[in-house]
Amino acid sequence: MKLLVCLLTVFGLAGAQEIKLPPSIEKLADKADEVVDVTLDANMLGVAAKFLSEGNQDEATAKKLVSGLKGIYVRSFEFSKEGEYSVADVDALRAQYQPPVWSRMVGVRSKKSGEHTDVFIRQANGNIAGLAVIAAEPRELTIVHISGNIDPEQLQHLGGEFGIPKLELEKKKQATTPEAKPQAK
């Protein structure tokens, strides 16, 4: 019986893993020229969804997507000069998004621009149950954490809503498709 209780406790904690921002990242607001701080739990999402219009297709889709979410958390800091945040602080945040709970889906590193972006997903029962984006640039740091059931087809509609940057996920047409070929005269 004790073993069963321990197993249920461990699996319960793994399923509801809470990501914590290191205190040093929370303190960046004092150094930043511009700060975006969005904290929407399930109750707040319900209230915010009421302000989305059913008449606007993008907002209606975002409203449907939000209904399955448990939370949206965005922290974005823009600085006037480089070096205002530590790479170690960002690495401490990235370290929380580890297997087996989280999987890194995308990693972008640019020596030229100094941009480091990671996209992590958490899966449960074959569905996406969480998404995180950490975008670190020399003068900007953005962290987006979305918890709850996420439909990848609808995900792009969250961009531009609730402080989440617009996501460019549209499929590009191939040059060989009839629509993309130039018409002969």
Q: What is the pTM of this model?
A: 0.72
Instruction: Check residue 120 and give its pLDDT.
Output: 95
Q: What is the pLDDT of residues 10-46, one digit of tens each?
A: 333 333 456 788 888 889 999 999 999 988 899 998 8
Instruction: Check residue 140 and give its pLDDT.
Output: 96
pLDDT > 70 in the chain, percent: 72
Q: What is the pLDDT of residues 101-153, one digit of tens each?
A: 999 999 999 999 999 999 999 999 888 999 999 999 999 999 999 999 887 66
SS3 category, 90: helix
In this predicted structure, the answer to whether residue 163 has a pLDDT above a threshold of 50 is: yes
| Cross-strand pairs, 150 | 128
